[in-house]
Amino acid sequence: MMFVPGHPAYRRLAGAVLAPSTASMRRIALAGVAASAGIIMTGAGVRLSESGLGCPDWPRCTATSIVAGGATGDPLIHRWVEFGNRLVTVAIFVVAILVCVAAWRYRPDGARRRKDLLWLAAAQPAGILAQAVLGGIVVLTKLDPVWVSVHFLLSMALVAATVALYVRCAEGDGPARSLVPREVRLLAAGAVGVLGLMLAAGTVVTGTGPLAGAGDIKRFHLPLAGVTQLHADIGWLLGGLVIALVLGLRLTGAPRQAARLGWLLLGLIGAQGAIGYAQYFSGLPAGLVWVHVTGSVLIWITAVRLLFALRDRGHVAVPGGAGPAGDQALASAVAPSGRTLPADVPRR
């Protein structure tokens, strides 16, 4: 009942979307991050529970039913798991539309829209529609591992766009000013690149192993031990890069938030490595693999967020100008370091 027109909660939501402040815009953007990450986790649950063909048709669940009904040869629970994931996609699409509307209505200076935010917001419903089409291809090709891999990697790209929107809506639109030396920025960018390579390798491992699917489901015809070792080797490379990055952040006096994100990233990668070895030596139990996928999402979000914490674009413009005191307080609120940025921070 809380979202019935006239209800106070409905009015608050409508106000936040149709006339968003910087704080409410950021909360809405954060909802987009959570939604895009959540669909990856539910999608992994579908695959790991062997429910990927619970709904063997698309866009309907079966040839005779939109919902999870009828007989498909799969247990009913598999049909409902797959159909439930499709319903989650619809809910996430609604969130993406709200993000787009809020970004369209967001005018931090009271006059003009932020085109950079509009593009990032528009990427969310566009990405979800593309994912829906890819999901249909995955079903119609009977879980071909190539399409499953593309489906997952596009989801991760969408997560990166939502994180970018979350950060940018609380920043100004001035030129980026580096807060760390160039070498540290290169380490951070290199870590994100290697992480992307590791995610791609992880999809190959999954598409090669027993969790690719049951029965006649296609798999990559590769040696499982070999692709798993490659995935682990990339993980060790990533760990070394992040250790160097954390040391660089420490030695160069990087902003506190960047340093904290660096340590968080290192801790998540260490835990992810332990989980990865545990799942391999325990025979790839589906539950542990799901935890591993969830860890990958968290690591990706942290790595992308860290990149943004290494530069500053100034504070958000406010209607009529805030004056020196207001500017100082607002800059303090949105500076990546959690403190006011000095005016003489050099460009790099």
Residues 30 and 132 in one domain: yes
CB neighbourhood size of 144 (10 A)? 19
Shared domain for 137 and 196, answered yes or no, is no
**How far apart (Å, rounded) are the C-alpha atoms in residues 164 and 153?**
17
124: tokens are 């969310």
| Residues 108 and 181 occupy one common structural domain | no
Instruction: Indicate the DSSP class of residue 178.
Output: E
Q: Who's near 96: CB < 8 A, 6+ residues apart? A: 32, 35, 124, 125, 127, 128
**50 Rama class: left (phi>0) / alpha (psi -120 to 50) / beta:** left
- Of 141, 173, 205, the position where a domain reaches its end is 173
- Same-domain pairing of 60 and 39: yes
161 lies in the same domain as 13: yes
294 lies in some domain: yes
Structure tokens that stand for 249 in this block: 């952040």
Written as tens digits, the pLDDT of the chain (348 aa) is: 455 565 676 677 777 788 888 889 999 999 999 999 999 998 888 878 777 777 777 777 776 677 766 555 566 777 778 888 888 888 899 999 999 999 998 888 766 788 889 999 999 999 999 998 998 898 888 888 899 999 999 999 999 999 999 999 888 877 888 999 999 999 999 999 999 999 999 999 988 877 655 556 778 889 988 999 999 999 999 999 999 999 999 999 899 999 999 999 999 999 999 999 998 888 888 889 899 999 999 999 999 999 999 998 877 765 544 433 333 333 333 344 444 343 334 333
Q: Of the candidates 18, 260, 7, 307, which has an alpha carbon nearest to the alpha carbon of residue 166?
A: 307
Residues 156 and 187 in one domain: no
Q: Are residues 222 and 162 in the same domain?
A: no
Q: Contact, 189 vs 307, CB < 8 A?
A: yes
Minimal CA–CA distance to 258: which of 182, 336, 184? 336
DSSP-based three-state secondary structure for 157: helix
In-domain check, residue 54: yes
- Containing domain of residue 159, as a range? 9-173
Tally of domains in the chain: 2
For residues 15 and 163, membership in a common domain is answered with: yes
**Residue-level length of the chain:** 348
Do residues 177 and 313 touch, judged by C-beta distance below 8 A? Answer: yes
With tokens 């968080």, the residue in question is 264
Helices assigned H by DSSP within 57-114: 76-105
32 and 155 fall within a common domain: yes
